[in-house]
Homo-oligomer: A and B are copies of this chain.
Amino acid sequence: MDRAYKEVQQITLAVDCIIFGFNNNQLEVLLIHRGFEPEKERWSLMGGFVGNREDLDAAAHRILHDLSGLEDVYMEQVRTFGKADRDPYERVVSTTYSALILKEQYKAELIAQYRARWFSIDDLPNLIFDHKQMIVSALNRLRRRVRTVPIVFNLLPKKFTLPQLQLLYEGILGEELDKRNFRKKLNTMDFLVKLDEKDMSGSRKGAYYYQFDENKYNRTMNFNI
């Protein structure tokens, strides 16, 4: 605990982002193809170092913004990876953040610039260092969280249909859900608003659009899928 100890500390602090999106009815992660050393030409999470006067959370948002062009994205800290040899080149401790984004809003030119690509969570490429573990822990956390906190709506447009929402849950949880039970549950917790408009793109009959109503949710704060 004495100062001398700390003064010689040579550890770099980084942030890595696990960026989730919902595409092709699958939960996907955005990875970058590294155009720089070390580990050039391999896949990795989007990461970066923390600024000296920058909040850790702010660093995560900055890094996400660099890749996506997005601000005000929903992010949560997951955990910190601190094995001494996790990065074989230098001592870096990295805190992971999980982000939920809407694919349509990405700046395609940035994605291209970083040579980024979406990967289905059950078809990941080889990743550098411990990035695979980072994704696994973020996914586990996400699976727990989506059942009790209304965060999935960050992965959908403002207006979405119930079949869409159900597919999203199935993609995240990795299991099929019963349509009737799913809808019944959503009905009992009353935070979805049915619009008069239908999405005709997926079927002949068309599916009604819904919206998440934050105020309604805040009245009860009860959420349990």
**Which residues of A pack against B, CB within 8 Å?**
1-2, 5-6, 8-13, 36, 47-59, 77, 79-84, 91, 93, 95
Within the complex, the shortest CB–CB distance from A144 to chain B, in Å, comes to: 9
> Could you tell me if A56 and B36 are in contact, using CB atoms closer than 8 angstroms?
no
* Cβ contact of A95, chosen from B36, B48, B57, B80, cutoff 8 A: B80
Task: Decide: A13 and B93 in contact? CB cutoff 8 A.
Answer: yes
Closest B residue to A37 by CB, please name it: B3
- Nearest B-chain residue to A90, judged by Cβ: B6
Instruction: Tell me whether A52 and B93 are in contact (CB under 8 A).
Output: no
A56: nearest chain-B partner, CB-CB:
B82
The CB with the most chain B CB atoms within 10 A, among A5, A59, A80, is that of: A80
A79 contacts across to B, CB distance below 8 A: 77, 79-80
Whether B91 contacts A53 by the Cβ 8 Å rule is yes
A39 to B55, CA, bound (A): 22
Q: Kindly list chain B residues whose C-beta atoms are within 8 Å of the C-beta of A57.
A: 82-83
For A56, give its contact among B1, B50, B93 (CB under 8 Å): B93
In the complex, A11 Cα to B14 Cα: how many Å? 11
Contact A9 B80 (CB under 8 A): no
Q: Which residues of B have CB within 8 Å of A95?
A: 80, 82
Which interface residue of A8, A49, A57 has the most chain B CB atoms within 10 A?
A49
Q: List 24 A-B contacts (CB under 8 A).
A: A1-B36, A1-B47, A1-B48, A5-B48, A5-B49, A6-B12, A6-B49, A8-B52, A9-B12, A11-B13, A13-B13, A52-B91, A53-B91, A54-B84, A55-B82, A55-B83, A55-B84, A56-B80, A57-B82, A57-B83, A77-B80, A79-B79, A80-B80, A80-B95
Tell me which of A47, A56, A81, A82 has the highest count of chain B C-beta atoms within 10 A of its own C-beta.
Answer: A82
Shortest distance between the CB of A101 and any CB in chain B (Å): 20
User: How many angstroms between the C-alpha atoms of A48 and B4 in the bound complex?
Assistant: 12
Closest B-chain residue to A5, C-beta based? B49
Task: Check if B11 sits within 8 Å of A84, measured CB to CB.
Answer: no
- Nearest 5 pairs of A and B residues by beta carbon: A56-B82, A6-B49, A80-B80, A11-B13, A80-B95
